[in-house]
Structure 1
Amino acid sequence: MIRTLLLGASLLLSTLAPSAATTIGDDGLHKEDWFAITFRDVAEDIETAREQGKRLVMIFEQRGCIYCTAMHEKLLSDPEVADYIKANFMVVQYNMFGDEEVTDLDGGTLTEKTAARKWGYVFTPTIVFLPEEAPEDMTVSEAAVATMPGAFGKWTFLNMFRWVHEKGYEGEEHFQKYHARIINELREQGRLDVE
């Protein structure tokens, strides 16, 4: 009986705990060991990502954000999601209320919190997808090819990364149409019951 209770408690705790690759930083944010640590010069980060054959993604989070926690524990811990992102994107984390210095694409120097305000990002997590090459005289919010504010389920989350990687924003198929098509394909393959 006691052994069964201990096993049950252990299983419950293991489902609630962050993945082994996730830690909590001094700023209270979850840290994936594959997130890039940079000087937060956005043009430089776009170039670095391009040199790696990837795209730059910025993720705005905040301490105590339950949706950010869910993103790390349910989405970024899923090997299908994490492997796809790691293979195709360089991810840089931003603290919505942080004081780290940021250099915008227009050359302006800000803190993370003033950058979030300038760019109009008010939800956490907010995921910002940048173009393959750094444009001049634009802000991050003007240059972004897509922005995903808030938390979503696995397939919406993963499909947004796929849509950007496939440059869906350049075509005629809106993300919502793309997502619906992928969901239907997954259902036909028997990989999805509900989404």
Structure 2
Amino acid sequence: MLKFLGLTLLAVVVASLPARAVTVGEDGLHKEDWFSMTFRDIKEDVADAKAAGKRLAIVFEQRGCIYCREMHEKILSDPEVRDYIKANFMVVQYNMFGDEEVTDLDGETLTEKSAARKWGYVFTPTIVFFPEEVTGDVPVSEAAVATMPGAFGKWTFLNMFRWVREKGYEGDEHFQTYHARIIQELRAAGRLGAEE
């Protein structure tokens, strides 16, 4: 009985612990030490990601974004999510209202904020996924193979990265169908409860 009470108390304490604290940069954005720092030339970044055996993803965030904070503290801190993304993607962070220079795939030089407007990204976080190679001079919004606008839970988030890595966008299985199938498989394996 005491052992059961001790385990119950431990579970309550662990569940009440705050989410992982995340470093915030001078620009007000939450930082991951494994995000890539680049010159923000999209063609170069796609090529560099490919050379490393990865895919490029850019994430738009903004100062004070509670959903961005949640993404960093609860989703990117999860070892399963973080390790998968680190192994398979080169992630570059963009400030939705930033002034850093960006070179679009069509060669146009922009600021981060004018790039966000040009490409039509208005939510933070927004994650933009790229093909393994880029051909032609088209803007990012036309070259992207998938976009995840807004904040999602662990499995939707992770499954989008998996779907892109597996090139699901080239097949007939829509992301929502893929996601539902993976969730059913996780439930069958006992990794998820009925409520997830």
State the TM-score, normalizing by the size of structure 2. 0.90
* 1:78-112 Cα distance to aligned partner (Å, 9 max, x none): 00000000000000000000000000000000000
Partners of 1:182 and 1:111 in 2: CA distance: 38
Partners of 2:161 and 2:91 in 1: CA distance: 12
> Which amino acid is the alignment partner of residue 119 of structure 1?
W
2:176 corresponds to which residue?
A: 176
1:160 corresponds to which residue?
A: 160
Partners of 1:73 and 1:17 in 2: CA distance: 5
> What is the 5 A alignment of 1:127-146?
127-146=127-146
2:27 corresponds to which residue?
A: 27
Partners of 1:100 and 1:55 in 2: CA distance: 22
* 1:136-192 Cα distance to aligned partner (Å, 9 max, x none): 210001000000000000000000000000000000000000000000000001100
Q: Matched residues, percent identical?
A: 75
Does residue 1:186 correspond to 2:189, yes or no? no
* 1:106-135 Cα distance to aligned partner (Å, 9 max, x none): 000000000000000000000000110122
Cα displacement (A) at 1:16: 3.8
> Which amino acid is the alignment partner of residue 162 of structure 2?
R
> What is the 5 A alignment of 1:42-121?
42-121=42-121
Q: May I ask how many residue pairs the two structures share in their alignment? A: 183
> Which amino acid is the alignment partner of residue 133 of structure 1?
E
- SS of residue in 1 equivalent to 2:183: helix
Partners of 1:168 and 1:16 in 2: CA distance: 32
- SS of residue in 2 equivalent to 1:15: coil
* 1:20-78 Cα distance to aligned partner (Å, 9 max, x none): xx411000001100000000000000000000000000000000000000000000000
- SS of residue in 2 equivalent to 1:185: helix
Partners of 1:125 and 1:166 in 2: CA distance: 23
State the TM-score, normalizing by the size of structure 1. 0.91
Contact 2:20 2:77 in 1 (8 A): no
> Which amino acid is the alignment partner of residue 138 of structure 1?
V
> Which amino acid is the alignment partner of residue 41 of structure 2?
D
5+ long unaligned stretches in structure 1:
1-9
Q: Rate the CA distance shift 1:17–1:79 in 2: closer, same or farther, 3 A.
A: closer
Contact 2:103 2:110 in 1 (8 A): yes
5+ long unaligned stretches in structure 2:
1-12
